[in-house]
Amino acid sequence: MDVPATRSGPGDAPLADRALRTLRARWRTASLAAGWRFPSDWALPEVDAVCAAVMAKGRVEAAETALAGLARARAAAGAGLAETLADLAALHAVLDHTGDGFVSPDIDATPARLLRTTALAWADVATDQLVHTEVTDPLTGLPSAAYLRTRLYEVYRAAAARERPAAEDHVLLVVSLDLTTVTGFPRLTGMILVADALRAVFDSGQSVASLGTSVVAALVPKDERVASHGVALRRALHERLSVDSQLADAGRPRVSAVRLPATHEMACDLLAHLARV
């Protein structure tokens, strides 16, 4: 898997940049052909680091450190091990291929050392995420944001299979409660009551989760019941929160319908943003 190392003279910089971009484009094309699910999620800064290491050192085997960095970034972004290894096989196939024809990635043809380096680096991050991921929010008893991210991944996969945006079939109903003026026990009970209201309204298979200390959300089908669900949710929230004077004085909880973005990665960023609102 030798590749021509790029020269380092000042006049060769444009040539080196062009060679790197070409390698990156061919790798991406081969990876998508090998089954990479969401094209917009493929590009990471670590991809460029791998390309630069390969071009500078002339051999992909000498880029193990960069490959390990990419594997860790893939795991942190939610890519599975099989997908990550298939992406590595695509790079190997591109570098091992002569000519401009079709590139066929083959994991079994990828050097075992590179597979081991990539798999171990991926597992380091994936295992750490598993250890530190709480399935249920201890205060509200609702599933955590990690659960909703997984549920959204399934929704986006299903939408991709149907070749339509996920936003056409699902919407996020988000409830946030301003607790800045609430103190003592009511501050704790406020979100418990909000969670109870969501469970009461969305009791037929919808995905409900806690996003933060004062934000919860429900992933619901986008159909004719969305409006009625919104009305029922506001009624349930009022009935529960009005029994406590501090919670009643805090003002009405904010209920909003949030459109799903184009990709799963963007949806995960949206959840993180909503948790800080």
Residue 104 burial (CB count, 10 A): 13
Q: Which residue positions in the chain have pLDDT lower than 50?
A: 1-2, 6-11
Report d(CA 260, CA 266) in Å as an integer: 9
Q: Which residues contact 133 (CB under 8 A, 6 or more apart)?
A: 144, 146
What domains are defined for the chain? 11-133 (no CATH), 145-275 (3.30.70.270)
**Would you state the pLDDT for residue 251?**
61
**Would you state the pLDDT for residue 7?**
46
**Would you state the pLDDT for residue 8?**
47
